[in-house]
Amino acid sequence: MATVVAFVVAHVLLGEPRPLLAALTALLVVQFTLYQTVRHSWQRIGSVVAGVLLAGLLSSVFGLTWWSLGVTVLAALIVGQGLRLGDHALEVPISAMLVLAVGSHTSAGLGRVYETLIGAAVGVCISLLAPPVYVQPAADAIGDLAEQIGRLLKTVAADVEQGWSHERALDSLRRARGLEDTVDGARRALAEAEDSLRLNPRRRVAHVPRTLRSRLTALEYSTIHVRVSCRCMTDRVEGVPAAELPGAEVRQPLADLLDASGDAVKAFGELVGSDVAGPAGDDSRLRRAVRRARELRDAASSAMLVDAQREPEIWRVHGAVVGHLDRLLDEIDPDAEVVAHGLNRHTPATSAVTLFPRLSSASLRRRRPGTARAVPRRAVSGRAPAAR
């Protein structure tokens, strides 16, 4: 629509029989948001004006030869980069060469500037008629991220319950790494939502809740904790014979913790939509889910306890799994001291108390039968393994 309107307006105002440059400008400057449309319009106008002025200046001094053309193009590229014209930087040398290609520099240059101005103005006016707002898509993207994290945790729980094998753990790690694409998509959606309200006359009736940014940050950290937990679980069973894999007395409490954590993340994601639709939603379901997950965390800590002196590698891997799942719950817990974001928060040094809450030093020294397992050479030695 903007292309056709720009063509007609330029034809009427300039008397140009084929004002294709105006139509092309309108096509290029209209973007998804009003702010982006205005920004692209200024960049397009600046590139054309810079190219026309540069061509007129250099052609009047050097004329048109093969070497002056090269100088003009080089200068135009430098000017385009210096003015930070973005995707329209190449329009500077293009405009300069098109002006040099005709005999009358003044008329050709002014005509190109006029058509560009008309095309940009039409593009901005068309965008002002119904400027879009992308707040709901951002909330949907963040909610989808929470849904995927929760679904992955519940799938990992089912795999652990059926049998904690290296193949299943490695598959879970691959899926956890794949969450990064969803995180990137949520970031882009939120940035687009914030851009859609800049310069938008509808910003008084539509807004991006500040909780969206904090909830996305919480889910970003949660994704890291899930990925590191899956990395630890993969290291724990890599190279371990089938007969020596963790038994049901270890797998079941860990599976219950993973499943409950998945429910908590899903409940956290359901609050995102309510932030956009109206007043903050009821977080009672989230509180119950987090409380249940913390209770199961204590049970999993007891079930996964091994002697820290005799099996330090196993103790550290088990502790890293429980520790990162506990940090995940901290990210989404509405009662936590720092909720929904981990900025400015430092991870405390790992210790037996933080990894295995509510366990005494005497119980740390007591060895549970059937838990002394070999661990691979790549197991953690001193701190939680990096997400790879």
The per-residue pLDDT for 387 is 47
The per-residue pLDDT for 102 is 65
pTM score over 0.85 = no
Burial 290-316 (b: 16+ CB within 10 A, else e): bebbbebbbebbebbbbbbeebbbbbb
The per-residue pLDDT for 281 is 63
Segment 72-108, tens digit of pLDDT: 889 888 988 888 888 888 888 888 887 777 655 566 6
Range in 62-71, 112-121, 250-259 with the lowest mean pLDDT: 62-71
Going from the N-terminus, what domains does the chain have, and what CATH number goes with each? 2-129 (no CATH), 135-365 (1.20.58)
Q: Which residue has the higher pLDDT, 382 or 63?
A: 63
Q: Given a cut of 70, is residue 307 above it in pLDDT?
A: no
Segment 332-341, tens digit of pLDDT: 998 774 444 4
> What is the pLDDT averaged over residues 374-379?
38
**Long-range contacts of 194-197, Cβ-Cβ distance < 8 Å, separation of 24 or more:** 195/33, 195/35, 195/36, 196/32, 196/33, 196/34, 196/35, 196/131, 196/132, 196/133, 196/134, 196/135, 197/133, 197/135
Q: Which residue has the higher pLDDT, 290 or 32?
A: 290
> What is the pLDDT averaged over residues 41-50?
88
Across all residues in the chain, what is the average pLDDT? 79
Q: Given a cut of 90, is residue 227 above it in pLDDT?
A: yes
Q: Which residue has the higher pLDDT, 232 or 163?
A: 232
